[in-house]
Structure 1
Amino acid sequence: MQKKTIKKSYKFAYRTALYVTLFSSVLVGLFLYYFKVINWQFIFYPFLCFPLCFGIVQYRVERFIYKRVKKIYDDLTLLESTSLRQMPITTDMGTLTKEIDKYAKNKKIEIETLKVREEYRKEFIGNVSHELKTPLFTVQSYLLTLIDGGINDEKIRDKYLARASKGVERLTYIIKDLDMITKLEVGDLSLTKENFDIVKLVQNVFDLFEMKAAKKQITLTFDINYSKPIMVHADKERIQQVLTNLIVNSIKYGREKGTTEVSIENLIKNKAIIRVTDNGEGIAKENLQRLFERFYRVDKSGSRKEGGSGLGLSIVKHIIEAHEEKIYIESQLDVGSEFSFTLEKSE
């Protein structure tokens, strides 16, 4: 681009110098002819005038433009790139305009991104405050009741202490999950990868939540009978956490007498994809993009009847991305949802 720009600048100076030389040669020739002093030496005039005009025009135009463009850079700080300062400023205003437009668009995108981040920050702080405030106030109210004399009633004491304990447990979940997400984001939480059977791991998670699913008469099952192990290479503990969060979510928001189904398929030669599918209430399309945000809830009423820290899906996303893998979501309202993620297969 630089060579092209310099050529355009010289072309401008060349044409300007040529016009000045032709005009001045005609004017001087007519003047000398009028006074009858013209001679053969006049032929050298155009050859002296042209290079002199070319040099003056080229130098003055470049300096003229450079000072003003530099002032734009320094005073308005519109452009953060020094690429134009490092090359001679030329008369190619088309190139200059394109550069200014390009960096102005980049600035606009940066400003819009900052606005989105600011909105997200405000929403996140509000969500954290709400998530911590609810169990804190719950625990406080139960303890105050006990302090005010409720402790003397054995039934009230046992019931309120149990509820206060659940509130403290909820606070512990939130703090631990926030700590984990922070470590995942900054890379402080290292992964211990190993080879393990993903089929067996899924079955272990099924066994852990069999009773929880039974309360809603939800069946936990594989799509087919996996008679042979499917070996993957990942952090076993973290992948179990991923499966736990996805299966617990499918139970929470699943239909009575519904089904949570897990399938494991070969994606490509060295990849497997694990799908967790349910026939629950589903998720509206407008909520899918924000589903993995911290504390984001599809239920805008903020109901806490299902419990949890509100960070489960965000943790799932971070763990999968820490493995340099992908997670996907497909859902249809009143039909069900499917979460799927990829893992590297063992060699």
Structure 2
Amino acid sequence: MLVSSRGISLILALAISALVGAFLSLMDDSTAVLIFVASGLAFSASYLLINITLEFLVFREIANIYSLLEKIQKKELSQIPEKSGKSSISPLRRINAVINSYALARQKEIDALQKNAEFRREFIADISHELKTPIFATQGYIHTLLDGAIDDKQVRMKFLKRAAKSLDSLDNLVQDLLTLNQMESGVIKFVFKDFDLKEVIEEVIEELEHKASKRHVHIDFKYEPDKNYLTHADRQKIYRVCQNLIFNAVKYNHDEGEVKISLKAHKNHIQVDIKDDGQGIPPEDLKRIFERFYRVEKSRNKKEGGTGLGLAIVKHILEGHKSKISVSSTVGKGSIFSFSLPLAKEKELDQTTKAEQPA
């Protein structure tokens, strides 16, 4: 037999009506009409009040709880509605809200675990591919030499150089992976000190000048000579940031292209903009270029070399300086990578200058 709010209300209303009629029948001046009318009113009022109370405060909330538990049992957590902000005097509704919050929290954990699992699968696939290329290349050269080509001096030197180059690429990949992992785990500590950001960029340009000249890429560095470009940061890591960004601007530029580096000192920070006039980056790839091993097809491919970790390392270094890397790009016109660092105060600059002066 199914129990419903109407059935319970009917039974309780009849009981209340009977009690009212029995009480009135004990009074001497009560008439049959009065007892009938009073019992009827008591029945109607009791039925309505009890039915509404049971329906909205008990049975409906129990049905919602059962529905919610059924969704949890079937693992249909994505179909659970967000928690309502309405308050209620019903304790069952509060229980429903608690279960709902718990289910939503579990759904978020499941989503995070699924996302992490997908990331691990992609990472394993990427790292396997990246490691396979230099390993297979080195194996090919070594086995060719072992099969008899080692007797030919010219072939021997050629293959050994190629094998060494492949192993160098493998070493660079492993070093970049270690660096990135240490940054994410907090093992690598940042050593902050005052230094001239302009001098760092000039050192990077001097280092990459030979690579740029091979493709006739012109590097234009603009800054105001009378401005202060002293910043407080980790010099070695900021050098690597500039090195990666300027190297990419040269590498992914077209022959006889131009790389424009702009250094601007503002009130509290120094802005660095690195612009190239290469092929640019499609909009759908802009959000992913800072991921590990992510390469943009055509414009950024394996033929250009690199480990695919440079921009990921740049992002982590700047995050360690409480800054961030931004990029804007137009396909066919080029890209602009920008970041900023805090500007050291003039007082700090004077103290640094005095400290460097001989006693």
TM-score, scaled relative to structure 1: 0.75
8 Å CA contact 2:289, 2:295 repeated in 1: yes
1:27 to 20, 23, 37: 20
1:342 to 340, 343, 352: 340
Indicate the residue corresponding to 2:355 in structure 1: none
Shift of 1:302: 8.5
- Seen in structure 2, the aligned counterparts of structure 1 residues 124 and 210 have a Cα distance that, compared at 3 Å, is same
8 Å CA contact 1:198, 1:229 repeated in 2: no
The residue type paired with residue 234 of structure 2 is D
Indicate the residue corresponding to 1:237 in structure 2: 236
Indicate the residue corresponding to 1:42 in structure 2: none
1:280 to 278, 281, 291: 278
Q: RMSD between aligned alpha carbons?
A: 4.1
8 Å CA contact 2:228, 2:265 repeated in 1: no
Q: Within 5 A, what are the aligned runs for 1:118-197?
A: 118-197=117-196
Shift of 1:91: 4.5
- Seen in structure 2, the aligned counterparts of structure 1 residues 265 and 73 have a Cα distance that, compared at 3 Å, is farther
Q: Distance in 1 between matches of 2:334 and 2:105?
A: 40
- Secondary structure of the 1:168 match is helix
Q: Distance in 2 between matches of 1:278 and 1:253?
A: 8
| 1:203-257 Cα shifts (integer Å, max 9, x gaps) | 0000000000001111112134534440011000000000111111111100111
| 1:261-305 Cα shifts (integer Å, max 9, x gaps) | 1112245x3222211111111100000111001001112799422
Shift of 1:27: 3.4
8 Å CA contact 2:288, 2:294 repeated in 1: yes
Indicate the residue corresponding to 1:90 in structure 2: 90
Matched, 1:330 2:309: no
Q: Distance in 2 between matches of 1:198 and 1:302?
A: 28
Q: Distance in 1 between matches of 2:210 and 2:224?
A: 22
Aligned residue-pair number: 310
Matched, 1:208 2:207: yes
Indicate the residue corresponding to 1:223 in structure 2: 222
Q: Distance in 2 between matches of 1:105 and 1:261?
A: 50
Shift of 1:107: 4.3
8 Å CA contact 2:292, 2:309 repeated in 1: yes
- Secondary structure of the 1:305 match is helix
Shift of 1:259: 1.1
TM-score, scaled relative to structure 2: 0.73
8 Å CA contact 2:285, 2:296 repeated in 1: yes
- Seen in structure 2, the aligned counterparts of structure 1 residues 71 and 104 have a Cα distance that, compared at 3 Å, is closer
- List runs of 5+ in structure 2 lacking aligned partners: 1-8, 36-41, 78-87, 346-359
More off after superposition, 176-185 vs 226-235: 226-235
Indicate the residue corresponding to 1:81 in structure 2: none
Q: Distance in 2 between matches of 1:24 and 1:112?
A: 56
- Seen in structure 2, the aligned counterparts of structure 1 residues 336 and 26 have a Cα distance that, compared at 3 Å, is same
- Secondary structure of the 1:291 match is coil
Q: Distance in 2 between matches of 1:27 and 1:102?
A: 45
Shift of 1:152: 1.2
